[in-house]
Chains A and B, each alone.
Chain A
Amino acid sequence: MIETRDLAKRFDNFWAVDGINLRVEAGQVLALLGPNGAGKTTTVRMLTSILRPTRGQAFVAGYDVVEEPAKVRASVGILTEHHGLYNRMPAMEYLDFFGKAYDLDLETRRARSQQLLQEFGLFDSGARRIAEYSKGMRQKLALARALLHNPPILLLDEPTSAMDPESSHLVRNSIRDLRSASRAIVICTHNLAEAEDLADQIAIIRQGKIIASGTPEALKKQYLGPAEYEVRFGATLNGQPINLPASARLCSMGQDWFRFQTNSPVEANPLILKSLLDQGLPVLGLYEIPRSVEQVYINAISAPQE
């Protein structure tokens, strides 16, 4: 659905994006992470045929972003970093205007507008001017605009910024619902928990280059090492030795717990558990220590540049 090959963009005297390779299949959500000015917005603008790549190629919904810009834009729904709403317009009229711009017929425009306003809890405010909307309402309206023409590609720049927790939850659920076999979604966000929650793939971009990419699990493994597990006991160990198989490594231990890392938990964990039970130790539980994408991001971003 989205593919870029060595995509690059140069402004005046610097490369805003420098040789990005991305692939997002239908049904996938890619989170594009990176500090401000890393090149996320420029990448998104190239994917919507607004900026012309200086080098490389990009295909969106099967269309070349340089050769078929109108088709690309018709296939993309975009939530921009700045909402860019027309304050003097009522929301319903606003959506109708964009429906026309996307060449939707009257019936579809009305049906989609009403459906989306209802979905985002804005239906009762549909006749109010956008100037009267709160920040969160504006964000939801901008998202409704992006979804109006039911696009197969969604590019969402900070989809839940400025939203209260309830609205953020609503929007995240909507994005989950939007994930379908026929739709690819790219989210640019600074909210790493959100990225982890929603994304199948993560790409971290720094100074125009992708410095890390993969599934959240693969990135955790790459940047944080093998998965870490903790075993807790119902009583103190009193200096009893812990026997671990060769594939596991003891990381730390306390009075009634210890942690280990292993690359092959499927084989190692049952062996460890059996050994502990054979020793007559009162095992309460064995579980994986949760690790966040935030740690991955910090490690990746703070790593020295090649």
Chain B
Amino acid sequence: MFASISKQVGGALIITRREVRDQFRDWRIIFPIIVLTVFFPALMNFTARRAVEFVERYGAPIVGDRLIPFLLLIVGFFPISVSLVIALESFVGEKERRSIEPLLNTPLQDWQIFSGKLLAALVPPLIASYLGITVYLIGVYYQVDWKPPAVLFVQVLILTLVQALLMVSGAIVVSSQATSVRSANLLASFIIIPMALLIQAEAIIMFWASYDALWWIILGQVFIAGLLIRTGLAHFNREELLGKEIDALNIGWIYHQFKDAFIGGSRGLFQWYRMEVRGAFIRLRTPILIMVLVSIAAYWIGSQQAQVFVLPVEYLSVRNPDQSLIQGLDSIRFFSVGGAGTVFLHNLRAIALATLLGLFSFGVLGILIMMLPITIIGYLAETMAATGLPPLTFFTALVLPHGVLEIPAILLTGAAILRLGAAMAAPAYGKTIGESWLAALADWAKIVVGLVVPLFLGAAFLEIFVTPRVAIWLLGG
């Protein structure tokens, strides 16, 4: 068992050793690493000392105290930024130079080549980064007598590691979609821009000294890096690597693939519902289950927030609504077809936004958007409970009348978005990423067009015409 694992890992390390050796023969990689390991930390030491002296002069030592840990983070980050270049060069560069084909002809497995390359892109910049951190820490210790708290030091080390992992795994996904280093570099902005935003967020946390929040940042990055590695592994297969020769967008093929998957063999609306929508629904069983569980969690999170963000009880009583409230409802277009249309369009916009964001985040952001109303319901139910309104009554009066259609629609949309994201990370066996994704997109379209839109339409009318009456009837005593 151990011998077998060792042999498998050994296969990956063959690739790593070759690539690392190759990097050390390339001055374009070595030079920046040396500069960022030695010169840059020294520069940051100088900056730190000057900054501390400056802010102390004006009686604001806290700025210096916050700046030094932030610079520690930056010193760690700069060398690992090289890992992005190495990963692009290693994956797409080798594809472009055609040196990948002999490698793919060896008995090494896809995952061994993938992990070997991933490690090779990760390890040298990471070592450089840790060396830079060491140089910086020695410098600030001698210059301004600063030592990092142990937890912060560990956090920065882990953050550096996960950031490198995030960039490399992102670069691999980008590389899988490109056939030249040039196109990969263009696509790399999809990594660089979010990373820049992330560093800004970390900078704010560092200056705020909310170091505990860094753990959440680390957790989030580990999660995304895990998804990206999973996606990279799914894309890094011999078929994908050598089956695609040029970065061509075949609109005709995309259209036919989607159309075939969307319409299937059905010859009419009834048959389409019976065969295609039903089939898509069956394929969504697991994502639906996940959505149900996520909804329960969202409700719980919402209800917990009611104790954190407390609303004044005196303004919340909805018992015995008077005539003026009913007239007020009328003025905000309740009991009108126009109002139903507004609600319906709002829900369609929410689906569009959730799907769009889901596309760039393996479905995660899409689900978060779809879960937002559930969280709000949890929050309001708990808040209303403080006024003496039992959550069940609140739910029955204000949510259930239209929720009976709207909540299933939300769950179905979330499940379809989740499947779209999953198709990116784990394509169906025997299919390319493109084929898998188009099939998932067709399923999304079937569910949205066939079920979600009619459900939302019905829910909009119920919400405008029925829910207020039920609420008044139940809450009015």
Please give the residue numbers on chain A whose beta carbons come within 8 Å of chain B beta carbons, in ascending order: 11-13, 45, 48-52, 70-71, 73-74, 76, 78, 80, 82-86, 88-89, 97-98, 100-103, 142, 145
Contact = CB atoms under 8 A, between A and B. Distances in A.
Nearest to A101: B106
A41 B62 CA distance: 66
B103 A45 contact: no
B426 interface: no
Contacts, number: 71
Contacts of A70: 107, 109
Given A84-B102, A88-B26, 6 more contacts: A52-B430, A82-B98, A82-B101, A84-B98, A84-B103, A100-B14
Most central of A11, A86, A88, A102 by chain B CB within 10 Å: A86
Interface in B245-285: 250, 252-253, 256
B57 interface: no
Given A78-B105, A80-B102, A101 B22 contact: no
Given A13-B250, A52-B430, A84 B107 contact: no
Contact of A101 (B14, B100, B252, B430): B14
A50 B102 contact: no
A88 B100 CA distance: 15
Interface string B81-103: 00000000000000001111111
B interface, by DSSP: helix, strand, loop or mixed? Answer: helix
A12 B438 CA distance: 13
Nearest 10 pairs of A and B residues by beta carbon: A82-B98, A101-B106, A84-B99, A74-B107, A50-B238, A88-B25, A84-B98, A70-B107, A12-B253, A73-B107
Q: How large is the interface on B (under 10, 10 to 19, 20 to 34, 35 or more residues)?
A: 20 to 34
A74 B106 CA distance: 7
A71 B256 CA distance: 37
B22 A84 contact: no
Contact of A98 (B101, B102, B430): B102
Contact of B238 (A11, A49, A101): A49
A45 B101 CA distance: 10
Contacts of A45: 242
Contact of A86 (B11, B99, B104, B243): B99
A84 B106 contact: no
A157 B352 CA distance: 50
B98 A97 contact: no
A298 B211 CA distance: 76
B109 A50 contact: no
A1 B22 CA distance: 37
A11 B248 CA distance: 13
Interface string B1-21: 000000000010010001000
Contacts of B102: 78, 80, 84, 98, 142, 145
A97 B11 CA distance: 11
Contact of B250 (A12, A74, A97): A12
B108 interface: yes
Nearest to A49: B238
Given A101-B107, A102-B107, A51 B243 contact: yes
A71 B149 CA distance: 54
B239 interface: yes
Contacts of B101: 50, 80, 82, 84
Contact of A89 (B22, B97, B100, B106): B22
A231 B430 CA distance: 62
Contacts of B252: 13
